[in-house]
Chains A and B, each alone.
Chain A
Amino acid sequence: MSDSWRQPRRILMVGLGALTVFYLLAPTLVIVPMSFTEARILSFPPEGFTLDWYERMVTDRQWSTGLANSFQVALLTAILATVLGTLAALGLTRGRFLGRTAVNALVLSPLIVPVVVIAIGMFGLFVQWRIAGSLVGLVVAHTALALPFVVVAVATSLRTMDRNLELAAANLGADPRRSFQHITFPIILPGVLTGAIFSFITSWDEVVIAIFMTSARFRTLPVEMWEQVRQAVDPTVAAVSTTLLVVTTVLLVLLLVVRRQAPAQ
């Protein structure tokens, strides 16, 4: 009759699925209510409701500069990685040149090398170049880390697009630049935006490289949090965690919207 392996014990599967979803989401979400507690220590269930810890996050000098630094680094990383990555994806999918495989491997390798090793390698040299402990050093490091995501996202949309559209544009008299501007780029734009969002998030959440690449004068939010988490923790850390999660989630929802609208054009 119908596909035999698709008639499992339904209840078992649904139960297992619900349990796994719970396991995936619940542990992280436990932090969110804790950030509103009136108690002076992290407690669950939270007591009362207050926004004090959020106020503390944006008024305390260390936390608030960390927040601002994180935004700045993530934004600059997103811009740099998206430009470099989009160009590289175009070259890798359309170009035919000697050493293409090697370049491809180089571009993807930041995904493979353990992040602690990347951090130490970069830190060792960036100190000598005098860009360690600064905005520039961290943006450069995060861009290397984010590049693979942009390249894969853009390359995917390039590989799946219908190149006959470009051919049609050429036949209608468009020169290559016009054809790219009006045909190719709009089609791969969702891929480019995907890459941009992924690189922003990569930088926004990154902590290991940032631990090395920041200094007492220049810290990001995750590094500030890392310093706190290992000592006594007050609910501000829960507020910071919630903020980190909310920004990421909003960006991912944005991404879904971008992708939803893509095929409509």
Chain B
Amino acid sequence: MTTAGETRRRTPPSLAGKRDRWSWLVIPATVFLAAFFLVPLVAMVIRSVTDPVDAGISNYERFFSQEAYARVLVNTFWIAVLSTAACLAIGYPFAYLMSIVPGRWSGLLLIAVLLPFWSSLLVRTFAWQVLLRDTGVINRFLLDLGLIDEPLTLIRTTGGVIVGMSHILLPFMVLPIYAVMRRIDPEFGRAAANLGASPFAAFIRVFVPLSLPGVLAGCLLVFVLALGFYITPALLGGLGDQMISQLIVQQIQQRLDWGFGTAMSVVLVGITLAILFISSRAIRLQDVFGSAVED
């Protein structure tokens, strides 16, 4: 419909005729992902209703009818919500700082965000384990200072999981917010000041609303990623902090219950996709996921 007209305007005339050749280039990656990514996921969905042979929806019934599993699901959401809140609380002021400092400084701050972003999740979780243990760095430090007499229980707690997860997820909050803040025109602030707004009022009533798309994108990204966490809750959480990914791995690796494990995987993907679908009306998902790579 409109595409023909649009492309004619965008593409220089002499290149227009060769346009179709480019299209073929998507075939290798498409075939690759279809075969090795999509087919396994479809096979997983099929397995969740055919293992054992006449399973039907029994695996799903089992998951939704037992309280122990419901608790894991609620727990997963709860940890994801708390991690998102922690990331927002730390990430928003930091993104703001990045957007107001001179270019060279914002570059350095960006590196401080990107370095941990790209470094090993396992190593960072291990580092938190070393810090939070009863004999760990933090407890040693507090004991040596005489602030405490007995080591605090920091590891194998919900708090431990939140600290570790928000540390790992923080860059996913900062990057989308910074991307939006960077584009806010400072003139709006001057206009607000000229109209008599105090700096605080200008910040709250002009800057914050303009930054909301970034906040939304960051929260969405962090929340969705948090739902699927496995390594961090496994190493830092206690028995009561089990998340759905841990339950899935347990069923597959230890119980060899593929039917139930795959059914829970389908539930996890279903929830993730539903959240993304609902929010895709408010934000462009490509912006959310692209922001990590573009800068």
Extra 18 A-B pairs, beta carbons < 8 Å, given A118-B40, A176-B21: A13-B96, A16-B93, A20-B97, A27-B128, A28-B124, A84-B28, A91-B24, A96-B23, A107-B33, A114-B228, A124-B44, A147-B33, A170-B14, A204-B120, A207-B231, A229-B235, A230-B235, A252-B118
What are some 15 contacts across the A-B interface (CB < 8 A)? Answer: A4-B197, A20-B90, A20-B93, A24-B113, A27-B167, A44-B137, A90-B25, A95-B25, A111-B289, A112-B276, A120-B252, A144-B37, A147-B32, A151-B29, A163-B12
**Which residue from B115, B122, B127, B140 sits with its C-beta under 8 Å from A205?**
B122
B interface residue numbers (CB < 8 A to A): 3, 7, 11-12, 14-15, 18-30, 32-34, 36-41, 43-44, 47, 90, 93-94, 96-97, 100-101, 109, 111-116, 118-124, 126-131, 137, 140, 167, 170-171, 186, 189-190, 192-193, 197-199, 202-203, 206-207, 224, 227-228, 230-231, 235, 245, 248-249, 252, 258, 261-262, 265, 268-269, 272-273, 276, 285-286, 289-290, 293-294
**Chain A residues within an 8 Å CB radius of B207:** 5
Closest to A122 in B: B40
**Chain B residues within an 8 Å CB radius of A126:** 40
**Which residue from A13, A21, A121, A248 sits with its C-beta under 8 Å from B112?**
A21
**Which residue from A6, A118, A144, A248 sits with its C-beta under 8 Å from B100?**
A6
**Chain B residues within an 8 Å CB radius of A44:** 130, 137, 140
**Which residue from A103, A144, A244 sits with its C-beta under 8 Å from B26?**
A103
Q: Is the CB of A4 within 8 A of B199?
A: yes
Closest to B185 in A: A3
Interface positions, chain A 121-137, Cβ under 8 Å from B, are 121-126
Within the complex, what minimum Cβ distance (angstroms) separates A198 from chain B? 7
CA distance A27 to B119 in the complex (A): 12
Q: How many residues of A contact B (CB 8 A)?
A: 95
**Chain B residues within an 8 Å CB radius of A166:** 12, 15
CA distance A152 to B294 in the complex (A): 7
**Which residue from A95, A151, A252 sits with its C-beta under 8 Å from B115?**
A252
Given the contacts A24-B116, A115-B228, A152-B289, A16 and B25 also touching, CB distance less than 8 Å: no
**Which residue from A2, A20, A91, A248 sits with its C-beta under 8 Å from B118?**
A248
Q: Is the CB of A106 within 8 A of B15?
A: no
**Which residue from B22, B32, B44 sits with its C-beta under 8 Å from A117?**
B44
CA distance A25 to B117 in the complex (A): 10
**Chain B residues within an 8 Å CB radius of A143:** 32, 36
**Which residue from B7, B27, B129, B273 sits with its C-beta under 8 Å from A96?**
B7
**Which residue from B41, B121, B249 sits with its C-beta under 8 Å from A121?**
B41
Q: Is the CB of A4 within 8 A of B130?
A: no
Q: Is the CB of A24 within 8 A of B112?
A: yes
Q: Is the CB of B15 within 8 A of A170?
A: yes
CA distance A110 to B34 in the complex (A): 11
Binary contact readout A152-175 vs B (1 if CB under 8 angstroms, 0 otherwise): 110010000001101100110000
Taking each of B20, B93, B198, which has the highest tally of chain A beta carbons within 10 Å of its own beta carbon? B93
CA distance A137 to B269 in the complex (A): 23
Q: Is the CB of A95 within 8 A of B30?
A: no
Interface of B is mostly: helix
Q: Is A66 an interface residue (CB 8 A)?
A: no
Q: Is A51 an interface residue (CB 8 A)?
A: no
CA distance A109 to B276 in the complex (A): 11
**Which residue from B26, B94, B249 sits with its C-beta under 8 Å from A88?**
B26
**Chain B residues within an 8 Å CB radius of A42:** 130
Within the complex, what minimum Cβ distance (angstroms) separates A188 from chain B? 13
Within the complex, what minimum Cβ distance (angstroms) separates B179 from chain A? 13
**Chain A residues within an 8 Å CB radius of B11:** 163
Within the complex, what minimum Cβ distance (angstroms) separates B221 from chain A? 10
Q: Is A190 an interface residue (CB 8 A)?
A: no
Given the contacts A8-B199, A17-B94, A252-B114, A91 and B26 also touching, CB distance less than 8 Å: yes
Within the complex, what minimum Cβ distance (angstroms) separates B226 from chain A? 10
Closest to A153 in B: B293
Interface positions, chain A 213-241, Cβ under 8 Å from B, are 222, 225-226, 229-230, 237, 241
Q: Is the CB of A4 within 8 A of B18?
A: no
CA distance A170 to B23 in the complex (A): 20
Binary contact readout A187-210 vs B (1 if CB under 8 angstroms, 0 otherwise): 000000010001001001101100
